[in-house]
Structure 1
């Protein structure tokens, strides 16, 4: 029988594998925005897998309380563990969880967490109620928080044929003048990904829209 869930199991496993040399290298890669324990991705995934094998998952109503505990810990690996926990319980997410996900998007924000949360979790609940999801994403697109804007741009990244193209283009058009690197990059990424489904419409949109050079280059990278 599995033990009752506690993040203490993760903390114990991570601390037992602390590597100060790797921690410095990982912090440097992330431009010094975060401190690290020094656990590379393959080992981290193994340790988290062991956590799931040993401990029963928290109850759905406790999910974000446990996620919050991990997010309060200083090292970045704990935020990755929180995202892994949400992924494990992804089927439990509902449209009631937009606010919870938004809090994570706007906490300790950087591309590594946003690019997991937006396509995998936000996109998942948008599909549950597309009209309501569109309303929320348009609100996020108008946020003063750049990472919330990026999340709105990227939430359909994995939708393929289920992409609401009008919504995708509408959100992108709201940010074509942005000077933010991470917004320009997100626009190009979203368009490049949808081009795998419909290259012609993406090419036409790029031709008709005054995108920044970075966005345009990224969007057309595999189209020519």
Structure 2
């Protein structure tokens, strides 16, 4: 039996297109001029439908997937990324896993919205984070999506009780300029805190004066009000101390 083709996959996707839903998705994913999803196009498929189609085409070859993951339509790219995650999880061949991983890295520029990153990178990077400098490089990339990959990918290690990659990448991204990075860092730190509250609190305390308010809000969602207030007090104390030092330095210069 021959493997599925890209044209067959596109046909299955197009059958589920819904222009009304697509219009709402274009607003939700910020596709206006100058927004992070500027110019992206949608067909109007929800995530359950995307996953259903992906599962039906898991045997499609990487060669056929090339045009899928780079397609102009958001959901087609998304389905391509979901297929990659299913492939890498289902195969027992390390050679095949390596091929899929390398294919993903070569095409990561098409993960150009937060949902495309989040649906794929954790499973693709599973088992490839420890001893790999790639996440460090991605965390310093000019690409917003590379930087988001670098932090969200660490969820696979969080689930194994290894928090070091998350804390390391978070420290690099704490003062990032993008809201989607503030949220992603806060999300991953919250995942750490769900498993080890002390590790989270120690990290927040250490970086109190560097943490963006959005990151702080996200990562402290599961802490008690008393714990949050204590950490906020530490932030304010640090800010006051830094302001006093700046004023002293300014006086000395004068």
The TM tier, using the shorter chain, reads 0.7 to 0.9
Partner Cα separation in structure 1 for residue 185 and residue 49 of structure 2: 32
Asked if the contact 1:105/1:113 (under 8 Å) is kept, the reply is no
Instruction: Give the 3-state SS of the residue equivalent to 1:89 in structure 2.
Output: helix
Name the residue aligned to 1:31: 30
Asked if the contact 1:188/1:219 (under 8 Å) is kept, the reply is yes
Query: Does 1:44 pair with 2:50?
Result: yes
| Structure 1 length-normalised TM | 0.83
Query: Does 1:104 pair with 2:111?
Result: no
Instruction: Give the 3-state SS of the residue equivalent to 1:14 in structure 2.
Output: helix
- Residue deviations 1:176-221, cap 9 Å, x none? 2212111111110110011111111101111111211111111111
| Cα RMSD (Å) | 2.2
Asked if the contact 2:85/2:120 (under 8 Å) is kept, the reply is no
Note closer, same or farther for the CA distance 1:163–1:143 as it changes in structure 2 (3 Å cut): farther
Asked if the contact 1:188/1:215 (under 8 Å) is kept, the reply is yes
Partner Cα separation in structure 2 for residue 12 and residue 222 of structure 1: 44
| Greater Cα offset, 187-196 or 137-146 | 137-146
Partner Cα separation in structure 2 for residue 160 and residue 199 of structure 1: 13
> Highest Rg: 1 or 2?
2
Note closer, same or farther for the CA distance 1:156–1:162 as it changes in structure 2 (3 Å cut): same
Name the residue aligned to 2:10: 11
Matched pairs, number: 210
| Structure 2 length-normalised TM | 0.74
Instruction: Give the 3-state SS of the residue equivalent to 2:175 in structure 1.
Output: coil
Structure 2 alignment gaps of length 5 or more = 32-36, 225-254
Q: 1:158: how far off?
A: 3.5
Asked if the contact 1:119/1:157 (under 8 Å) is kept, the reply is yes
**Superposition pairs for residues 194-213 of structure 1, below 5 Å?**
194-209=192-207, 210-213=210-213
Partner Cα separation in structure 1 for residue 102 and residue 169 of structure 2: 20
Match of 2:120 among 117, 120, 127: 117
Structure 1 alignment gaps of length 5 or more = none
| Greater Cα offset, 6-15 or 102-111 | 102-111
**Superposition pairs for residues 46-85 of structure 1, below 5 Å?**
46-52=52-58, 57-58=59-60, 62-63=61-62, 65-85=63-83
Note closer, same or farther for the CA distance 1:139–1:99 as it changes in structure 2 (3 Å cut): farther
